[in-house]
Amino acid sequence: MQPDSTDWNIINRLSENYAPNSVVAREMGLSEGAIRQRIKKLQDAGILKIKALRNPEILENQQLALLGVNVAESKLLDQKAQEIAELEGVISVAIVSGRYDLIVEILVASNKGLIQFLTKTLSTIKGISKTETFVMLKTHNKWL
């Protein structure tokens, strides 16, 4: 499924700031039912996901970090990215160009949680040749 211009207008509107379907419908000159149906269609197609986001700066006893990960065999990039994405604490995984093969974003319980993730959780994934951890000390305009 490819979103049409109306779908993109809905996606862009909801990306700016959440609003009830009735408000989006009124702004776009459509019925609330039409908006609801289009949102459901976008969600069912895996194009749109609506969820509450929180500011990591207010999360107590939690640590946000990025991991640069190198995979032993390039042909396993997608498989390893999927395996890592399923681990507890992982927010996202991206296959990237440059120094690392993958960038992994994690949210764990403080420094002990970070150590636990690196030594017990991530270590269950075979085929990782190297990691480097970047602890986020402060973020701006970051939402989880």
> How is the chain split into domains, by residue range?
5-44, 56-135
Buried b (16+ CB within 10 A) or exposed e, 106-140: bbbeeeebbebbbeebbeeeeebeeeeeeeeeeee
Mean pLDDT, range 103-132, rounded to an integer: 94
Residue 18 banded pLDDT, cuts 50, 70, 90: confident
CATH (one of 3.30.70.920, 3.40.50.300, 3.50.50.60, 3.40.50.720) for 56-135:
3.30.70.920
Q: Which pLDDT score is estimated for 62?
A: 86
**Token digits of residue 80:** 């390893």
Q: Give the span between the Cα atoms of 61 and 49, in whole angstroms.
A: 27
Give me the chain's average pLDDT, please: 92
Higher pLDDT, 104 or 61: 104
Residue 43 predicted with pLDDT over 90: yes
Q: Quick check: 75 pLDDT over 80? A: yes
Environment class of 38 (CB within 10 Å of its CB; exposed 0-12, middle 13-18, buried 19+): buried
